[in-house]
Amino acid sequence: MPALDRKFLRDFIHLWKQALAIALVLACGVAILLTGMGMYKALSDTRSTYYERNRFADVFSAVRRAPDRLIAELAAIEGVWAVETRTVGETVLDLPGVAVSVTGRILSLPSDGPPLLNVPILKSGRYPDPESTSEVLVNANFAIANGFRPGDSFYANLNGQKRELTITGTVQSPEFIYTIGPGAIMPNNATFGIIWMPERAVDAAFDMAGAFNDVTLQVTAGAQTANVIDAVDRLLDPYGGLGAYGRALHPSDGFIDAEINQLRIMASILPPIFFGISAFLVSMVMGRIIALQRSQIGLLKAVGYSNLEICLHYLMLAAMIAVLGVAIGWLVGSWLARELALEYALYFDFPFLIFTMSPWVYAASGLAALVTTSLGATQAVIKSARLAPAIAMQPPAPAQFKRSVIDRAMVAMRLSQPTIMILRSLLRWPVRSALTILGLALAVSTVVAPSFFNDALDKIVDSAFYDTNRQDAMLVLSHDMPLGVVDTAADLPAVLQAEGQQFHSVILRNGFHEKRTMIEARQPDTDLSRVIGMDGQQINAPPGGVVLSRRLAADLHVGVGDSVTAKFLGGRQESHELRVTGIIEQYFGLGAFMDLDDVNVLLRQSTRVSVVNVSLDDSQVPQMHAALKDIPNLVGVVMMTDSRRSFSETIEQTIGLMNTVYLVIALLITIGVTYNGARILLSERARELASLRILGFTRAEVSYILIGETMLLALLAQPLGWLIGAQIATAMATGFSSDLYNMPVVLRPAIFAKASLVVLLASFGSVMLVRRRLDRQDLVSVMKVRE
């Protein structure tokens, strides 16, 4: 083996602890990049393949009742490849052994075979007999949650008639990857299920013979989906069309798309931080190695080694650290990406998972690691190449010292000599000190940034479940009903208070800006479902006015006092000008709120409600559920207590795992920065510290210089870390927010205190590891070492 290669191995073995600390930081960046991109690609590829194989539709529309003769006209629209109409209805289910009311969505199955679009995958059993009126398919997750198997049965309230239904099979559908019941916030497979019934049975149950109330279409490649949507609306508007929309607005696909975007954001924001810190650490270590090996560099040049060979020698040392970090990152990242992708596939109810990590992701992560470490080492390597052999074999010239104003100030303040040495060291190496502060600040920010999720979600829960939606349950009606239904609901067992609410699908427009959303109409000063303003007080929408959520107002580019055009979907398909009278903060959906009586005046109808909100006596809830199972025109029951608990449990598990991961990352960054910094500081000042010991300074006083400089840098890094963390938290909240939910940024003082405590303790532990080497030093040997 050539001599230079043997030297390379000896140097790497000697520096293995420092190299490992840097490699672990680098590995974090590589692993996060692989995990984020791996999960992003897995979910994207799985979704695309699933949609293609099972012909997930491109355009969807509901309609009150349209005749079957429109099918030919829908199919004739330019750009339409396939059309499928069906009957869809909601119902309350009575499951054996289950006390609570369960909601089901019923979809008709074509009588001539499986559906053409949104084809379900049969997981067990068989399809129902087309002539049967009682055989059904159910989605697999609903069956699993309730312990159903083919052959089991349950009861459904179909348009006021209670009918026993028998399960013949379980399926998974691309249309219900993320399954949320009416009025719900989180999926609950135990209380909401999808039911497929033969077409004839569904049409008879919902009085839809010769008609349909739902249509899905698939467009040809290259066709303009927007043009198809406009054509569908023109055909269905006279029959109460509720507005066609594309995949982007489909509830299931919307949730998946938001999650995929979050993974993409995670893979783009965090890795550069770790690569930058790694470059800084490599720069520190390589700079000190070259400073300590001046005589060796001079000797190598004297015996004939070229500048290029010496540069490559030290670059190989940096590259070896990168290779170690990349290897660890590849192993951990690949494993994490696969395991988390499997979890996501189960959570989103994918029937399969396509996981293939693209070679370019490995190549990009490896190349990024090599480039950053090489750039970090470049300055020191170039410095080594510029050393002339004769100069390199001599001790470096002592640094010039001039008494400055700062020195006089330190003397005037009567600081101790060790403290003055600490401050002079920071001033002597300002760039290195600043970079150390930046590295530790990034460690602080790594704890601060994700910690806001806990408080943000607490705020969301408080706002959604305690300030605005204070009801215990929502009774969802099959259609708008007279206000008297509220009094009927008030007479149910367990009901203490009942209030009506009305929902209307609308398209809000302001010039070229438009959004499809729901208008919620309620009476003034309601108690169970309220609209809360920015000041935390309840507000009421005045007649002719509409209150918008902040995100919706921003999307429409309107403010208080501006006007928007509201096209009410269904019914008469009328448009009305509304004045924006208020803007509120809302965390779920795109809210628009109006006065109940005002909406009914606009639509020229008597006062009606779509939902009845109720507060309950907990001791009589089972009796209420028993009564609800037999009520006609009731299609769903949303228990807000269950939604609140499900939301909190799901989020706590996700946030707990994420905070743990980020905490480990912050510790690795801190250890990498402080351990390497303390080792370099000890190697640079070993002779000085030994001199102080010989002069009579105690071990505590000498250790104070080593520990004090590191901890002072850590303290100085805290405010910068808080600021960077707040900025990253804001960027993450903005990136994670969508039309489905809005993430607030809540940063309490406790978050900053926690981040500082973690980084300061890790810094102290790291420098104490280095301090042990100070105790083991042979003073005589250290003093013999040439400067």
How far is the C-alpha of 589 from the C-alpha of 583, rounded, in Å? 14
Last residue of a domain, one of 182, 207, 232: 207
DSSP secondary structure code for residue 54 in this structure = T
> pLDDT tier at 215 (50, 70, 90 boundaries)?
very high
> From residue 233, how far is each of 243, 255, 284, 782 by CA, in Å?
6, 25, 65, 86
Name the burial class of residue 13, with classes exposed (0-12), middle (13-18) and buried (19+) by CB atoms within 10 angstroms of its CB: exposed
In a domain, 63, yes or no: no
In a domain, 531, yes or no: yes
Produce one character per residue of 125-142: b if its CB has 16 or more CB atoms within 10 Å, e if not. bebbeeeebbbbbbbbbb
Q: What is the mean pLDDT of residues 442-450?
A: 82
> From residue 292, how far is each of 106, 301, 426, 671 by CA, in Å?
77, 16, 20, 23
Here the tokens at position 649 are 């449990």
- Residue 398 pLDDT > 80: no
- Residue 288 pLDDT > 80: no
In a domain, 622, yes or no: no
> pLDDT tier at 650 (50, 70, 90 boundaries)?
low
- 653/783 same-domain check: yes
Can you say whether the dihedral through the CA atoms of 187, 193, 198, 200 is positive or negative? negative
Q: What is the mean pLDDT of residues 413-438?
A: 78
> Which residue is it, tokens 């001079």?
298
Angle value at C-alpha 636, between 631 and 640, nearest 5 degrees:
120
Please, which residues have CB within 8 angstroms of residue 400's CB and are 6 or more apart in sequence? Answer: none
For 720-760, strand residue ranges (E) read none
> From residue 776, how far is each of 23, 709, 773 by CA, in Å?
27, 20, 5
For residue 768, the one-letter residue type is M
What region does 766 belong to: left with phi over 0, alpha with psi -120 to 50, or beta? alpha
- 423/392 same-domain check: no
Please, which residues have CB within 8 angstroms of residue 68's CB and are 6 or more apart in sequence? Answer: 85, 210, 211, 212
Rg for the chain (alpha carbons), in Å?
34
In a domain, 233, yes or no: no
Please, which residues have CB within 8 angstroms of residue 550's CB and are 6 or more apart in sequence? Answer: 583, 584, 585, 586, 742
679, 671 contact by CB (below 8 A): no
| DSSP sequence for 248-286 | GG-HHHHHHHHHHHHHHHHHHHSHHHHHHHHHHHHHHHH
- 282/192 same-domain check: no
Here the tokens at position 776 are 């083991």
In a domain, 231, yes or no: no
- 183/313 same-domain check: no
Here the tokens at position 636 are 């769903």
* HSE-CB of 636 using CA atoms within 13 angstroms: 25
Q: Of all helices (H) and strands (E), which one includes residue 62?
A: strand 59-67
> pLDDT tier at 219 (50, 70, 90 boundaries)?
very high
What pLDDT, on a 0 to 100 scale, did the predictor assign at position 394? Answer: 62
Of 693, 730, 101, whose CA–CA distance to 449 is shortest? 730
- 670/764 same-domain check: yes
For residue 251, the one-letter residue type is P
Q: What is the mean pLDDT of residues 80-96?
A: 91
Beta strands across the sheet bearing 80-86? 80-86, 211-219, 59-67, 245-246
In a domain, 673, yes or no: yes
- Residue 387 pLDDT > 90: no
Last residue of a domain, one of 143, 176, 207: 207
Here the tokens at position 480 are 């708008």
In a domain, 481, yes or no: no
> Which residue is it, tokens 């004839």?
200
How far is the C-alpha of 72 from the C-alpha of 357, rounded, in Å? 44
699-736 and 640-694 helices, crossing angle to 10°: 150
| Terminal-residue alpha carbon distance, the chain | 31
DSSP secondary structure code for residue 170 in this structure = E
Report the percent of the chain where pLDDT is more than 90.
22
Please, which residues have CB within 8 angstroms of residue 774's CB and are 6 or more apart in sequence? Answer: 682, 689, 699, 702, 703, 706
Strands 634-639 and 473-482: what pairing?
antiparallel
- 656/590 same-domain check: no
Which domain does 549 fall in, by range?
A: 495-616
Strands 245-246 and 59-67: what pairing?
antiparallel
CA 438 to chain CA centroid, nearest Å: 26
Can you say whether the dihedral through the CA atoms of 283, 284, 287, 289 is positive or negative? negative
In the predicted model, what is the mean pLDDT of the chain?
83
Helix (H, G, I), strand (E, B) or coil at 221: coil
Instruction: Answer with the residue of higher pLDDT: 638 or 595.
Output: 595
CA 632 to chain CA centroid, nearest Å: 40
In a domain, 686, yes or no: yes
CA 696 to chain CA centroid, nearest Å: 58
- 305/422 same-domain check: no
Please, which residues have CB within 8 angstroms of residue 340's CB and are 6 or more apart in sequence? Answer: 35, 39
How far is the C-alpha of 147 from the C-alpha of 161, rounded, in Å? 25
Last residue of a domain, one of 572, 598, 616: 616
What region does 331 belong to: left with phi over 0, alpha with psi -120 to 50, or beta? alpha
- Among 255-264, 505-514, 734-743, 752-761, which is the least confidently predicted range? 734-743
Question: Per DSSP, what are the bridge partners of residue 197?
Answer: 108
Here the tokens at position 426 are 């920071």
633, 481 contact by CB (below 8 A): yes
* HSE-CB of 55 using CA atoms within 13 angstroms: 16
How far is the C-alpha of 399 from the C-alpha of 402, rounded, in Å? 10
Give how many domains the chain has, as a whole number. Answer: 4
How far is the C-alpha of 592 from the C-alpha of 586, rounded, in Å? 10
Q: What is the mean pLDDT of residues 579-604?
A: 87
For residue 634, the one-letter residue type is L
Q: What is the mean pLDDT of residues 506-517?
A: 88
Which runs of consecutive H residues, i.e. helices, occur in 188-248?
199-205, 225-236
- Among 279-288, 445-454, 527-536, which is the least confidently predicted range? 279-288
Q: What is the mean pLDDT of residues 455-471?
A: 80
Count the Cβ atoms, other than its own, within 10 Å of residue 753.
12
- 783/656 same-domain check: yes
Helix then strand then coil, in percent of the chain rounded to 5, is 55, 20, 25
145, 189 contact by CB (below 8 A): yes
Q: Of all helices (H) and strands (E), which one includes residue 156?
A: strand 153-158
Please, which residues have CB within 8 angstroms of residue 566's CB and are 6 or more apart in sequence? Answer: 506, 507, 508, 509, 519, 546, 575, 576, 577, 578, 592
- 45/122 same-domain check: no
251-269 and 16-53 helices, crossing angle to 10°: 160
Q: What is the mean pLDDT of residues 355-373?
A: 86
Q: Of all helices (H) and strands (E), which one includes residue 105?
A: strand 102-109
- Among 46-50, 78-82, 172-176, 178-182, which is the least confidently predicted range? 178-182
- Residue 646 pLDDT > 90: no
- 670/774 same-domain check: yes
Of 116, 319, 77, 97, whose CA–CA distance to 216 is shortest? 116
- 265/339 same-domain check: yes
- Residue 530 pLDDT > 80: yes
What CATH number is given to the structural domain containing 562?
Answer: 2.40.40
Here the tokens at position 272 are 């550069």
Here the tokens at position 724 are 């960077």
Which of 44-53, 468-477, 747-756 has the largest mean confidence? 44-53
> From residue 323, how far is each of 32, 209, 290 by CA, in Å?
16, 69, 21
Please, which residues have CB within 8 angstroms of residue 488's CB and are 6 or more apart in sequence? Answer: none
98, 229 contact by CB (below 8 A): no
What pLDDT, on a 0 to 100 scale, did the predictor assign at position 787? Answer: 46
- 462/504 same-domain check: no
Rounded to 10 degrees, the C-alpha dihedral 692/693/699/700 comes to -20
- Among 61-70, 575-584, 686-695, which is the least confidently predicted range? 686-695
Which of 25-34, 373-382, 393-402 has the largest mean confidence? 25-34
